[in-house]
Each structure stands twice: as structure tokens, then as C-alpha cells.
Amino acid sequence: MQPINEMKLEFVSKSSNEAFARVVAAAFASQLDPTIEELADVKTAVSEAVTNAIIHGYENRYGIIKMVCRQFEKSVEIEISDEGKGIENIEEAMQPLYTSKPDMERSGMGFTVMQSFMDKIQVRSKPGEGTTVTLYKEFNSLDGLQ
Amino acid sequence: MDIKFSNRGSTLIAMFTGELDHHFAEYARNKIERELMKATTRNVVFDLTGLNFMDSSGIGVIVGRYAKIMKLGGRSVIICSNQKIYRLLEISGILKLMPVFENLDSALQALLSA
């Protein structure tokens, strides 16, 4: 499937960029005219993925986070990647309540929230090389609109 | 993001406004901790009505405080009327730990009656 529109963004792994990234992703997705609820879902999922890249990927050190957003007729795909630590065991990391940093009061619900708020998520990771999370959401509110 | 505090007897009411994410999590945590140190506090109401965004970092902040309040023999409740944030609370499992109310009156009543 060919995207009808695409954008790329690179930013430094600073926590103040979490809000920046989710607002940019939502603004781009809003071109498709989804509902406010659907946009809020996108915002929350992006916030989780970017937070993971900062805390777990780069462990609060300096790094570059890349975000690629693609629009399709009635859906968006958002790819968030870091070149940080990577995940040893993706299946374990995606378990609800699992956290590698319990001392930091992380809820361990990041991936669960992404899965619940988006239609599909894909995680690719290599220890020592980085992680890419791809979030996919269909805007069902656009069904029947033309 | 900001938190304003008020007291009703031994109950501390923490009113959140703005966006609660990882960026503001530490600030929120420290601010609530400082209030919890004040001797009169027993129960806490987390009033999320004024939040227009929250992600799982916010859940971490609330659950962390919940555990502390429990240890000190107090109870905590949440006020949330925002559907999106309610869904997040639901998914996170926090509803099994803390009751959620739509407004301050019902939250305070629940704390009083138990």
C-alpha cells in the first residue's frame, strides 16, 4: 500500500520532546479528519513510544529519536525509532506490568497502552543497535465518508 | 502541568491541571510527596478533572503514591470525568486498587462513609 502523504522528524531524547512529538503526530494525522477520540489515541500511543525510547532506549542519555508518519486513505502508520540499548526479550517487555525499571515507578503499561489505543503495533529490536516501534491505526470514523 | 492542593479534614485533595506525562512525572511526584509529609494528611483524592492528557507515566505517579498512602494507613480515590483518561485507568488495572468518582462530593462521601 502506497502512502498518500509522509513526514519525517528527528529530535533529541529530551523529555520535553514527548509532548512535541505527540502533538506533531496528531497534527499530521488530523489532515485525514479523524475524530478527537481517535487523535487522542494516537497522541497517547506516540507519547508511550517516545517515552520508552528516552527512558529505556537511551536510558536518559543523549540520543536521536526518529519519527516517520505515513498517511493512507483512512489510516496512519507511525514509526518511532532509536539507536539505543535495544530490547533483549521483546515478548517479556510487552507483558502488562513488566518493567525493567521498577525503582523508577514505571507502571509497566506502555506497550499495553499502545496495543489498546492502536489497531496494530510492531516492535523490532536488536540489543546494542536500537528499537523501532511501528504504530498503526485505522480511522473508522471515516468509513462511508468520501 | 500543575497541581493545586486543598484539605478537607485529614483528606488532601490534589487537583491536577494540564498534561501529565513522563516529562512532568518527577515534578508531580515531588510536589505530592512534600504535601504528604505534612502531618495531618491521611487520605488523598487525586482529582484528574483538569488534565487534558495523561499517559502511563501518570499511572506510575498515582500508583506510587497509592502504595505510600496505604502504608501509612490512609486511602486514596480518583476523580475522573474524562473518558479518554478513564480508559487509560481501566487498561492499567488501577481501578482494581482505587475507586473512581465523577466529582469531589461523591469522592469525599466515599472516604467518610468507610
The pLDDT tens digits of the residues spanning A5-45 come to 999 999 999 999 999 999 999 999 999 999 999 999 999 99
A33 domain-assigned: yes
| Known catalytic residue at A52 | yes
Which of B19, B20, B23, B98 to mutate to probe the A interface, most A CBs <10 Å?
B23
Contact A107 B59 (CB under 8 A): yes
B57 reaches A (C-beta below 8 A): yes
Q: What is the pLDDT of residue B108?
A: 95
Nearest to B56 among A16, A54, A113 (CB): A113
Of B22, B60, B61, the CB nearest to A18: B22
Is A146 contained in some domain?
no
pLDDT higher than threshold 80 for residue B102: yes
Long-range CB contacts (within 8 A, 24+) of A79-82: A79/A132, A79/A133, A79/A134, A79/A135, A80/A21, A80/A46, A80/A49, A80/A50, A80/A53, A80/A132, A80/A133, A80/A134, A80/A135, A81/A53, A81/A130, A81/A131, A81/A132, A81/A133, A82/A13, A82/A53, A82/A57, A82/A58, A82/A130, A82/A131
Q: pLDDT category, A145, cuts 50, 70, 90?
A: low
Search chain A and give the residue with CA nearest B54.
A44
A vs B, Cβ pairs < 8 A, gives 69
Average pLDDT rounded to a whole number, residues A45-56: 97
Beta partners for A71? A5, A76
B60–chain A Cβ distance below 8 A for any pair: yes
Lookup: cell for B55: 499517559
CA distance B66 to A133: 31
Asked, for residue A84, whether it belongs to a domain, the answer is yes
What is the arithmetic mean of pLDDT over A115-138? 98
Read off the pLDDT of each residue in B17-29 and give the average, rounded to a whole number: 97
May I ask the CATH architecture of the domain B2-109?
2-Layer Sandwich (3.30)
> What stretch of H or E contains A6?
strand A5-12
| Cβ distance of B21 and A106 shorter than 8 Å | no
Query: Which residue of chain B comes nearest to A97, CA vs CA?
Result: B92
Q: Which of A17, A18, A22, A52 is catalytic?
A: A52
Phi and psi, residue B61, nearest 5°: -65, -45
Q: What is the pTM of this model?
A: 0.95
Q: Complex ipTM, two decimals?
A: 0.93
Q: CA of A111 to nearest chain B CA: how many angstroms apart? A: 10
Tell whether the model's pLDDT for residue A146 goes beyond 60.
no
Cα(B18)–Cα(B13) distance, rounded to whole angstroms? Answer: 16
Average pLDDT over residues A120-137: 98
Q: Give how many domains chain A has, as a whole number.
A: 1
d(CA A141, CA A143): 6
Which residues in chain A touch residue B1, judged by CB atoms under 8 angstroms apart? Answer: none
- Name the CA dihedral angle for A68, A71, A76, A78, rounded to a multiple of 10 degrees: 0
Answer whether B4 touches A (CB < 8 Å): no
Cα four-point dihedral sign A108, B86, A31, A145? positive
Whether the predicted pLDDT of A102 surpasses 80:
no
The question of whether A79 is a catalytic residue gets the answer no
Cβ–Cβ of A51/B60 closer than 8 Å?
no
The domain of A114 spans: 5-140
Instruction: Please say if A70 is a catalytic residue.
Output: no
Q: What is the pLDDT of residue B101?
A: 97
